[in-house]
A and B are shown apart, each in its own frame.
Chain A
């Protein structure tokens, strides 16, 4: 190997610089970076002077790009909103009215550019988190928690309660086998599922079924209060967040020992 650390570093620096273009604008500089989105478009960072440093901004381009195929008012809600905020926080970025930016000391411009680039590409990936995919992930998480608690033979997924009318239209997410009254567990990640679960529970009750029910929310704060209230009246028990696995475990253990 003929390369040395110095020559490799020099080559990398030269190659990187070849892929960077800088354009002067009225009040700032536009810097085209070799950081590429899923559609091949490069990130442009806008840098301007700040007191003792630089302000590095995307000028709102990242969220505008995300809006092409997504309704941001729906995309940036619930779990995705939390992920969005986590991405920004981890990269040290701030978002105001769609603009994502970072302020860095005078000697940390490259750090600011990379922070913006990393944050912007991670934000772009939020577009891949469609509602269906988020729901699948939530269901996977809930299944995994139940597997951990009762084992693979301890529950049936997509259970159709026997002996009731149109049972195929009123499936139970997870039937947890207990020594006494069956426990029906439902995962609820959004308003529509809260309403559907309320309907299913009411249908089962109207058919004189004896059962205990437990609702596990993705995050109860994402459910409109009126829907959560109706579901609270229909279900025996609830866990506010899928992240409360210790609470899920203790509530299920309680039913198993009756």
Chain B
């Protein structure tokens, strides 16, 4: 399934409501995981996932995907931590290293046969999972999560993030 940028924008910004705000957080395979089911007024289904790596403080992610009537899922946006680098091959720009970044689904990458949410841009709008979740809730007009997911432990001060080479 392919989406146009207009459709992606509509899906990203249509108001959505969390239908299981008390979803249980589970610890699985070394990460804390919570999945929220969302619907919008016309009945379309979405899912918001929240992940925190238990070994890497800056290894976190929260993402939104759209679930089609056929059960196919397409990630529309993903707000990642700074534990890894990222490349946008169609732009041909140099990879960016160890910076928080936001993935967005794009028509261009889908048409190129790439994963829908391949494209990403760096951001300084958040530095931990709590901040990332706050931003995705706001950007994607997600309502119904009154209690923000438990905050991420801050990066230990004895853990310098200096790049050596």
Contacts of A42 in B (CB 8 A): 84-87, 95
Q: Are B28 and A72 in contact (CB under 8 A)?
A: yes
Q: Identify whether the interface residues of B are mostly helix, strand, loop, or mixed.
A: loop
Contacts of A64 in B (CB 8 A): 29-31, 51, 53, 59, 61
Which B95-119 residues have C-beta < 8 A from chain A? Answer: 95, 97-98, 103, 114-115, 117-119
Q: Identify whether the interface residues of A are mostly helix, strand, loop, or mixed.
A: mixed
Given the interface pairs A59-B55, A60-B54, the reply to whether A36 lies near B31 with Cβ below 8 Å is: no
Q: Which of A18-26, A104-112, A137-145, A195-203 contacts B (4 or more CB under 8 A)?
A: A18-26
Q: What is the 8 Å Cβ interface bit string for chain A, positions 34-68, against chain B (1 contact, 0 not)?
A: 10101111111010000000000001110111011
Q: Are A32 and B98 in contact (CB under 8 A)?
A: yes
Across chains A and B, the number of contacting residue pairs, with CB separation under 8 Å, is 120
Given the interface pairs A40-B89, A59-B56, A63-B31, the reply to whether A26 lies near B84 with Cβ below 8 Å is: no
Q: Are B98 and A26 in contact (CB under 8 A)?
A: no
Which B137-158 residues have C-beta < 8 A from chain A? Answer: 156, 158
Q: Are A72 and B29 in contact (CB under 8 A)?
A: yes
Q: Which of B30, B59, B159, B163 has the most CB of A within 10 A?
A: B30
The reply to whether the CB of B83 lies closer than 8 angstroms to some CB of chain A is yes
Contacts of A22 in B (CB 8 A): 163-165
Q: Are B30 and A32 in contact (CB under 8 A)?
A: no
Identity of the chain B residue whose Cβ is nearest the Cβ of A18 in the assembled complex: B94
The reply to whether the CB of B4 lies closer than 8 angstroms to some CB of chain A is no
Taking Cβ atoms with an 8 Å cutoff, the residues of B that contact A are 28-31, 33, 49, 51, 53-56, 59, 61, 63, 65, 73, 75, 78, 80, 83-89, 95, 97-98, 103, 114-115, 117-120, 156, 158-165
Selected A-B contacts with CB under 8 Å, 10 pairs: A23-B162, A39-B103, A40-B89, A40-B114, A44-B85, A60-B30, A61-B83, A63-B31, A68-B78, A98-B28
